[in-house]
Amino acid sequence: MGTLVRYSLLLAFGFVSYACVPGSGSDLDATSNMSGATGGVPETEEEKILNALGQALSQNVVGAGLSEEELAFVQRGFSDAVLGQEASVDLNEYGPKIQAFMQERVSAGAEVELAEATAFIEEQSAVEGSEQTESGIVIQVITAGTGANPTAADTVQVHYHGTLRDGSVFDSSVDRGEPATFPLSGVIPCWTEGLQRISVGGKSRLICPPDLAYGPQGPPGIPGNAALVFEVELLEIVDN
């Protein structure tokens, strides 16, 4: 799935989070001196790539739930490091504190998200036509299939569109214009179970509770304890 591909990319940029050290309390107005910190609307191909780079790098800190004011300190640290300017704080002193800071922020956010996810799952289970499995997955049939149902040992080809509960898209083979093929034994539990309830040619909406998705430690781009929504069309059971 595309999310896993992007996760590998972000790991390659992992060093960036060590350069993005929050400030020690200096005036926020200092960020006004950052050259090109906000940039503009990308127009050329190179500018669009650079914008995409910024989006990719942001996944290292998005789970921390930074405010606009806090983000300004991150931007200042990043800009100073990249442009070779004098740092506002000592990286050797504050760098080792980043991991604990991020873990604390992510954990706090995950607790809030779990409550929201639980309420969302309950709400979706009450939608007319919904079926909820014993494990907690909510399945809403969009189009009934006429073919066979896969087993957990099968490899399938699907088109899918993945969103968070607020509708934000985090992964989509539909948007990429290319179906995905993978073994059901190698995906999140929600997919392993949910796909077995879709017949070839069918399309369903799978609402996945956090414990059957990515749990409290969501990958980049997905909050910890997030409920995930997938519209999945089962195209084929692939011969192994």
What pLDDT does residue 67 have?
Answer: 87
Tell me the pTM: 0.67
CATH architecture label of 113-238: Roll (3.10)
Catalytic annotation, residues: 160, 170-171, 188, 214, 230
| Low-confidence residues of the chain: pLDDT under 50 | 1-37
- Give yes or no for a contact between 183 and 154, defined as CB atoms under 8 angstroms apart: yes
User: Residue 15 has what pLDDT?
Assistant: 34
Residue with tokens 């929050």: 22
State pLDDT tens for residues 41-81: 999 999 999 999 988 888 778 777 788 999 999 999 999 99
- Which parts of the chain are beta strand (E)? 131-132, 138-143, 155-164, 169-172, 180-183, 203-208, 228-238
* pLDDT at residue 240, as a whole number: 61
Contact 23, 76 (CB under 8 A): yes
Q: Where are the domains of the chain?
A: 2-89, 113-238
E-only strand ranges, 38-96 = none
Q: What is the DSSP string of 95-156?
A: GGGHHHHHHHHHHHHHHHHHHHHHHHHHHHHTSTT-EE-TTS-EEEEEE---SPPP-TT-EE
